[in-house]
Structure 1
Amino acid sequence: MPEPTTPRLHSLEFGIALNPEAARFEELVRLAQLADTRGLGLLGVMDHPYLPGVLDSWTLMTVLAARTERIRLFPDVANLPLRLPSMLAKAAASLDLISGGRVELGIGAGAGADQGGGGMGGPSRSPKVAIDALEEAIAVIRRMWAGGDEPAVYEGEHYRLEGVVPGPAPAHPIGVWVGAYGPRMIELTGRLADGWLPSFPYIDPARYIELNKTIDDAAAVADRDPSEVRRLYNIIGHIDPNGSTPFTEGPAAWTERIVHLVVEAGVTGIMLTPMADHERQIEVFSEEVVPAVLEALSKEEGA
């Protein structure tokens, strides 16, 4: 089996991502419970609070954490301009404690006027400024998670901590997974983040593999082991035996594409975002695609 660009240090996990549409609340609970009982490990909740028809992601995640037992939850990805990083850290640590260590933190820069608030009062940042603010936010979040009795102090251009005592500390080391696409965000991810979380079709598998190497290089320049940066992938698609385009195909094609990503890019987190027929898609994904991927990888490693 060819060595992946980044050797895997993390267990390979599969999950789903949900759009927190208010009109589908009861269905979202059922889908989360289905993913949990079918053995999927990750549950992402999209975060677009400026849209009128969606629930607040953190409120929904709290309900879903209470209605599930094993699956880990995270915002996919949290909208930074509308969420103060000190409060993001507090929310993530709180839910991690309440859920027994089942929370991670996906985060994005949220560049653009609409993603800065769309009339909600958030800052309107250029892409450059948004990335600068994200770098500061990661530092603030980690200071807030550090715990201890000493006040936290941070002085940045966009965020400050002025002597707040951090805590409570989360139940486990929460991963900071960045939704990154452009060169500066990719560099920041390799330098500072615990994981990379882009989405298909915004990045196709070939581009994913190419940018994966860029993350390796950025991590190495920052004197980090590149394998510390977990590689995840949101896939907006549909498992359809009659389909013919990438990630709208049958289970066998999905299996082949995912195995390729694991082998060539060291991907250890695959998230299905169903476009329709959500319950059936989760069943096919967990019952057909996931076992086939694991079997194929086992054969590759044995060879």
Structure 2
Amino acid sequence: MSAPTARRPAFGIMTPPSQVSYDDLLRVWREADALPQIEHAWLYDHLMPLGGDPLGPTLEGWTLLSALAAQTERLRLGLLVTSNRFRPPAVLAKIAATVDVVSGGRLEFGIGAGSRPDVPMARREYAAHGLPFHDAAQAVASLAEACTIVRRLWTETEPFDFAGEHHRLTGAFCSPKPVQRPGPPIMIGGRATPTLRVVAEHADAWNMPGGTVAEAVERSARLDRLCADIGRDPAEVRRSFVLFPAPDDRPAGTRDTVRAAIEGGFDHIVLGLHAPYPDAVVRRLVDDVVEPVLSAAGPGRVVPVP
């Protein structure tokens, strides 16, 4: 394990855009935008509900993200994470560049291989929308190609061809480019070793999608080794942890989990919110969880992490 360093944890919220109205989501994001302790906000990328009424409403993630980008001023924002199975990567690069323009350069580009085959509520959305669902090996290989394509479209000034195993492009070009140069940070979500190899090669940040802190720390150590295998400094890849406290969880338990994640090397913390959202839901999250954790870190609000 490397020597401890001091990193400032960055807190954000996640609001799944399912079983909820646009007006309610907008209210929560505007509240978060006004609270400096909350630095980022996220949606997820599903086309149908994962819980509750299976025929209930689910808003499309990238369309909604662009709307929320136009209605906020400060928050970094993104999807945790985009399913690479849903959209061709060149189209996705164009969508993401547009959102970065709309937001004035605040996009965090979250992407992953797509839903696992062992989640039936997620699996059904592919057949329902006429989308193929390939095996995991193909999905991960497609993700690696997609990351290459997206980066090139954001940075190259002349049209180019791409001949991959899973994606082929002729005369590919993206204009306008993203506001951020050389492009928005790429955050890849996933926990399987093949996906972590793609993280090591392509990502600026890695998100651990669920699981315990102990599991996240073990997977993070695996990512360190995969970075070392290709000669990359593991410290270049920021570590992100998502926590969805149960509605009846006490704040002390959530604070303990957050502190454990930070001590384990995760300095990008995403706190999930459950709909329906009461008034001042983000304010209470800041008062009950974020401020106590930051205050305990002492001057400069940094927390020692390995």
1:28 pairs, out of 17, 25, 30, with 25
How far off its partner does 1:187 sit? 2.4
Q: Which residue of 2 aligns with 1:287?
A: 287
Moved more, 129-138 or 43-52: 43-52
Q: Which residue of 2 aligns with 1:153?
A: 161
Moved more, 211-220 or 45-54: 45-54
- Distance in 2 (CA, whole Å) between partners of 1:124 and 1:60 is 24
- Distance in 2 (CA, whole Å) between partners of 1:15 and 1:127 is 30
Q: Structure 2 unaligned segments of length 5 or more: list them.
A: 50-54
How far off its partner does 1:277 sit? 5.5
1:184 pairs, out of 184, 194, 208, with 194
Deviation sequence 1:40-99 (CA, Å, 0-9, x none)? 111111110245521111111111111111011101111211111111111111111121
Are positions 1:37 and 2:30 aligned together? no
- Distance in 1 (CA, whole Å) between partners of 2:127 and 2:32 is 33
Q: What does 1:85-124 correspond to in 2, within 5 Å?
A: 85-110=89-114, 111-112=116-117, 114=123, 117-124=126-133
Q: What does 1:224-243 correspond to in 2, within 5 Å?
A: 224-238=232-246, 240=248
Equivalent residue of 2:232, what SS? coil
- Distance in 1 (CA, whole Å) between partners of 2:303 and 2:59 is 46
User: Structure 1: which amino acid aligns with 2:126?
Assistant: G
TM-score, length-normalised on structure 2? 0.86
1:140 pairs, out of 137, 144, 149, with 149
TM-score, length-normalised on structure 1? 0.86
Would you say how many aligned residue pairs link Structure 1 and Structure 2? 287
In structure 2, the CA distance between the partners of 1:302 and 1:152, relative to structure 1 (3 Å rule), is: closer
- Distance in 2 (CA, whole Å) between partners of 1:301 and 1:163 is 47
Equivalent residue of 2:21, what SS? helix
**Deviation above 4 Å: which 4+ runs of structure 1?**
299-303
- Distance in 2 (CA, whole Å) between partners of 1:301 and 1:70 is 21
Q: Which residue of 2 aligns with 1:249?
A: 250
Moved more, 51-60 or 277-286: 277-286
In structure 2, the CA distance between the partners of 1:301 and 1:44, relative to structure 1 (3 Å rule), is: closer
- Distance in 1 (CA, whole Å) between partners of 2:222 and 2:239 is 12
How far off its partner does 1:31 sit? 0.6
Q: Which residue of 2 aligns with 1:59?
A: 63
Could you tell me whether the CA contact under 8 Å between 2:200 and 2:226 is conserved in 1?
yes
- Distance in 2 (CA, whole Å) between partners of 1:180 and 1:302 is 25
Deviation sequence 1:170-219 (CA, Å, 0-9, x none)? 1113111111121211222123211111233xx10011111111111111
2:227 pairs, out of 215, 219, 223, with 219
- Distance in 2 (CA, whole Å) between partners of 1:275 and 1:164 is 40
How far off its partner does 1:296 sit? 1.8
Could you tell me whether the CA contact under 8 Å between 2:6 and 2:302 is conserved in 1?
no
Q: What does 1:165-184 correspond to in 2, within 5 Å?
A: 165-172=173-180, 173-184=183-194
How far off its partner does 1:281 sit? 4.0
User: Structure 2: which amino acid aligns with 1:32?
Assistant: W
Equivalent residue of 1:98, what SS? helix
How far off its partner does 1:155 sit? 1.0
Q: Which residue of 1 aligns with 2:52?
A: none
In structure 2, the CA distance between the partners of 1:171 and 1:224, relative to structure 1 (3 Å rule), is: same
Moved more, 286-295 or 62-71: 286-295
Give the share of equivalent positions with the same residue, in percent.
Answer: 30
Could you tell me whether the CA contact under 8 Å between 2:97 and 2:154 is conserved in 1?
yes
Q: CA RMSD in A?
A: 2.4
